[in-house]
Copies of this chain bind each other. A is one copy, B any other.
Amino acid sequence: MRKDGDAAVVEFTRRFDHLDVADMAALELPRAELDAALAGLPAEQRAALEAAAARVRSYHERQRIESWSYTEDDPAMQGTRLGQQVTPLDRVGLYVPGGRASYPSSVLMNAIPAKVAGVGELIMVVPTPRGEKNPLVLAAAAITGVDRVFTIGGAQAVAALAYGTATIPQVDKIVGPGNAYVASAKRRVFGTVGIDMVAGPSEVLIISDGSGNPDWVAMDLFAQAEHDDLAQSILLCTDEAFIGRVEASIAKLLPEMPRRDTIATSLKNRGALVRVRDLAEACEIANRIAPEHLELSLAEPGPWVEKIRHAGAIFIGHHSVEALGDYCAGPNHVLPTMRSARFSSPLGVYDFQKRTSLIEVSEVGAQTLGKVASILAHGEGLQAHARSAEMRLKG
């Protein structure tokens, strides 16, 4: 793969995606095709996609981290300047799955923070098995200003982005969801390029004081459960009677749902309606679970927000349903799963920026610091470190 480059990608695409082309150039979509997909959308869909993109952009613009530096005025350090220079990544690869899990919202959520960060070139890959393209995905690429699109997928797309080929430039980081092959390929190339987190099944935890509408709660559980059989939907509620009403709503609403089989399976395997003593206990459990999505379905949610130490996103109050966050509230829908909210964060602009330390020591400062560094370097047995500091000392 690393050796054969373009030819290998073309061959794997023929074999796995049943897409037969003469060369790599035929696997690149021209910008005009993205624009045409956008122009071809029903007006309502186009407006919704553009409204969502605008809100996601506006939220993410507040996430940009900025360079900073300060000059020391202590006479012993006079004129010494320290700081951090923040720069965007040069080039990023965005993986978009084909088939059933090909989601335009995923293009928005990955491409917009990269663009807000100022990434120089954003390259999207999306498999199009047998040539089938998803116009919503292409339209989302047009709206977000993706720079190039290749219709390739699988581990071969990840490898092509990580190492580069004659046609596909090497990127510095690869983001976006994918199946097990894609996830495994991303893990393999990590180090050569950066990667985002490897996502597990999606999760929601709803904390309720019984003040809400049981139909709403039931449907919010369904919305999580419909993703796949492994999705996890849990309700923690202080009110036994309300739990009964949610159960009744589930029984009533489930038969209407087109994806009722998936919903039923995932609720059975990984769902739970749990009575808790009080909201303090609910928050404790939530912190232990560190859920991807947390809904505070409470009459007065305010005081409880700060009790939550670990969660990907907190949806506050009865009207803050997760589906709004998935599409258009503004914050990112790529969130830490499987308890990783204990140590990681939503995808953000900061994932497409990096920092470089700035160290500008004045001649005066070098006298002060040189002595300290020399003592510590000798303590560690690193004499050349010590000497290089001592050489800057004036007699």
Contact A346 B340 (CB under 8 A): no
Is the C-beta of A125 less than 8 angstroms from some C-beta in chain B? Answer: no
Distance in angstroms between the alpha carbons of A346 and B356 in the assembled complex: 7
Q: Which of A4-12, A148-156, A234-242, A368-376 makes up part of the contact surface?
A: A368-376
Interface of A toward B, CB cutoff 8 Å: 44-45, 48-49, 51-52, 59, 62-63, 68, 70, 80-82, 84-85, 87, 89-90, 100, 103-105, 136, 172-173, 191, 193-194, 198, 213, 215-216, 219-220, 222-223, 225-227, 257-259, 263, 301, 305-306, 308-332, 335-336, 338, 340-346, 348, 350, 354-363, 365-366, 369-373, 375-377, 379-389, 391-392
Q: A104-B379, A191-B198, A384-B263 are in contact. Are A324 and B361 (CB under 8 A)?
A: yes
Contact B172 A343 (CB under 8 A): yes
Q: A321-B389, A329-B369 are in contact. Are A222 and B340 (CB under 8 A)?
A: no
Q: A340-B191, A372-B328, A384-B222 are in contact. Are A323 and B172 (CB under 8 A)?
A: no
A391's partner among B219, B370, B380 (CB-CB below 8 A) is B219
Contact B194 A343 (CB under 8 A): yes
A348's partner among B226, B341, B355, B370 (CB-CB below 8 A) is B355
Distance in angstroms between the alpha carbons of A104 and B105 in the assembled complex: 48
Contact A219 B384 (CB under 8 A): yes
Q: A312-B356, A316-B358, A380-B104 are in contact. Are A343 and B89 (CB under 8 A)?
A: yes
A341's partner among B223, B338, B354, B380 (CB-CB below 8 A) is B354
Sample (12) of A-B pairs whose CB atoms are under 8 Å apart: A80-B329, A85-B308, A222-B384, A312-B356, A312-B357, A314-B356, A318-B392, A319-B366, A321-B391, A324-B369, A324-B373, A327-B369
Distance in angstroms between the alpha carbons of A276 and B93 in the assembled complex: 32
Please report whether the interface of chain A is mostly helix, strand, loop or mixed according to DSSP: mixed
* A197 vs chain B, min Cβ distance (A): 9
Q: Which B residues touch A386, using CB under 8 A?
A: 323
Q: Which B residues touch A345, using CB under 8 A?
A: 354-356
Contact B105 A376 (CB under 8 A): yes
Contact B319 A194 (CB under 8 A): no
Q: Which B residues touch A346, using CB under 8 A?
A: 355-357
Contact A356 B311 (CB under 8 A): yes
A373's partner among B100, B328, B331, B354 (CB-CB below 8 A) is B328
* A32 vs chain B, min Cβ distance (A): 23
A384's partner among B193, B259, B341 (CB-CB below 8 A) is B259
A360's partner among B263, B310, B316 (CB-CB below 8 A) is B316
Distance in angstroms between the alpha carbons of A223 and B391 in the assembled complex: 12
Q: Which B residues touch A385, using CB under 8 A?
A: 223, 226, 323, 326-327
> Of A301, A323, A332, which is in contact with the most chain B CB atoms at under 10 Å from its CB?
A323
Distance in angstroms between the alpha carbons of A94 and B259 in the assembled complex: 46
Q: Which B residues touch A84, using CB under 8 A?
A: 63, 331
* A190 vs chain B, min Cβ distance (A): 9
Distance in angstroms between the alpha carbons of A258 and B243 in the assembled complex: 73
* A52 vs chain B, min Cβ distance (A): 6
Q: Which B residues touch A49, using CB under 8 A?
A: 376
